[in-house]
Amino acid sequence: MKAIGYQQTHDISHPESLLNIELPVPEATGHDLLVQVAAISVNPVDTKIRTRVAPESGYKVLGWDAVGEVVAVGDEVTAYKAGDIVWYAGDLTRPGSNAEFQLVDERIAGRKPAKLTNAQAAAVPLTAITAWELLFDRLGFAKDYAASSKTASAKPDSARQQILIIGAAGGVGSILVQLAAKLTGALVIGTASRRESQQWVSALGADYVIDHSKPLSEELARIGVSEVSHVISLNATEQHFAEIAKVVAPQGKFALIDDPAEPLDIGLLKTKSVSLHWEFMYTRSMYQTADMHKQRELLNEVAELIDNGVLNTTLGEHYGAINADNLKRAHADLEAGRTIGKIVLEGF
């Protein structure tokens, strides 16, 4: 089968940073689905693994977002059969989706939304899982399906909880803004520094968009907000942490997903009794937790929300076929911070 992989960690400009290769088709056993991959998207985790993790032997295949057709199932599979179309973000400890065929555990795969094309759907799984777990598992919001109605959103800003999403125009931010706006009833404030990214975040449903290249406290004051009950940082947390500690409300909650480049002084949160939550969407698959199946359930719920017109795809750009050259371009653009929404590739 065709695949894209590497044998040594390299800068993306190196000719062997990503290579077109041939690998044997894997065999489905146990809870595994063998999926013929139709479309993928690229995430920051791909670039981090490529630069930090050398394969122990052979080639390492990246990719943790995919849509495809089930062509075979293991002997313990109960949720799917050959011919089903699924979407998933996969397992960080296993070969990724940059290949014609991939094994994925049925407990972390959901049904693809009928309303979306393969490319549109491939943009969603990893970021949707991350955003969903952030809001409902880590921060404890209750899902409110009436929150997007005019009546539910008519509360004055002062009567609502507030969610500040730092880095709202990226992949996770693009679905997180939608989930927060549609399902929590909270006042949603997204941050973005460029005009086009600010327009993107506003169109996704944020109540306000502020500029994170300026002090957060000053930008919040500009829109009449003195403090926020919930802060979610999606990137560059170390750059914003002092301001986060300043604007988060007493007894508020702070969550992050990135790997800060320098230690955070969490003592800044003490006097406000602020709780800290770290979200890592691979925890369930990496540790084979008893609730692994929750990821299948949430992907199916997201699919239903999309098919019902509540949520939209976060596809930003389509980079063409799945090959080394197009993946190199995608990695380079992600590393440069030039993307809005998700980069998708389709077909081999």
Task: Give helix 195-204 / helix 171-183 axis angle, nearest 10°.
Answer: 30
User: CA distances (Å), 91 to each of 38, 44, 66, 120, 344, in order?
Assistant: 18, 15, 12, 21, 19
For range 48-77, the mean pLDDT: 97
Identify the CATH class of 2-124+304-346.
Answer: alpha beta
| Residue 152 scores a pLDDT above 90 | no
pLDDT at residue 287 tops 70: yes
pLDDT tens-digit readout, 203-235: 999 999 999 999 999 999 999 999 999 999 999
Task: Please give the mean pLDDT across all residues of the chain.
Answer: 95
Does residue 345 contact residue 327 with C-beta atoms inside 8 Å?
A: yes
Per-residue confidence (pLDDT) for residue 292, from 0 to 100: 97
pLDDT digits (tens, 9 = 90+) for 97-140: 999 999 999 999 999 999 999 999 999 999 999 999 999 999 99
Contact 200, 169 (CB under 8 A): yes
Q: What is the pLDDT of residue 149?
A: 58
Long-range Cβ contacts of 263-266 (<8 Å, 24+ apart): 264/237, 264/238, 265/241
Q: What is the 3-state secondary structure (H, E, C) of 40-90?
A: EEECHHHHHHHHHCCCCCCCEECCCCEEEEEEEECCCCCCCCCCCEEEECC
Tokens of 30: 């146990």
What's the pLDDT band for 159 if we cut at 50, 70, 90? confident
Q: What percent of the chain has pLDDT over 70?
A: 97
Residues of the chain with CATH 3.90.180.10: 2-124+304-346
Longest CA span, the chain: 59
Chain segment 168-198, per-residue pLDDT in tens: 999 999 999 999 999 999 999 999 999 999 9
Tell which residue, 140, 201, 204, 139, has the closest CA to residue 166: 201
pLDDT band at 242 (very low <50, low <70, confident <90, very high): very high
The Cα 332–Cα 338 span in angstroms is: 9
Distance between CA 272 and CA 251 in Å, rounded?
Answer: 6
User: Tens digits of per-residue pLDDT, 2-18?
Assistant: 999 999 999 999 999 99
Alpha helices in the chain (DSSP H): 44-52, 118-122, 125-132, 171-183, 195-204, 216-222, 237-247, 283-286, 293-307, 324-336
Check residue 338 and give its pLDDT. Answer: 78
Which two three-digit tokens encode residue 258? 């990135």
**Which residues of the chain does CATH 3.40.50.720 include?**
128-278
CATH of domain 128-278: 3.40.50.720
- As a whole number of angstroms, the distance between CA 42 and CA 126 comes to 10
Q: Which of 17, 20, 15 lies closest to 3 in space, CA to CA?
A: 20
104: part of which helix (H) or strand (E)?
strand 101-105
Closest CA to 299 of 190, 146, 175, 166: 175
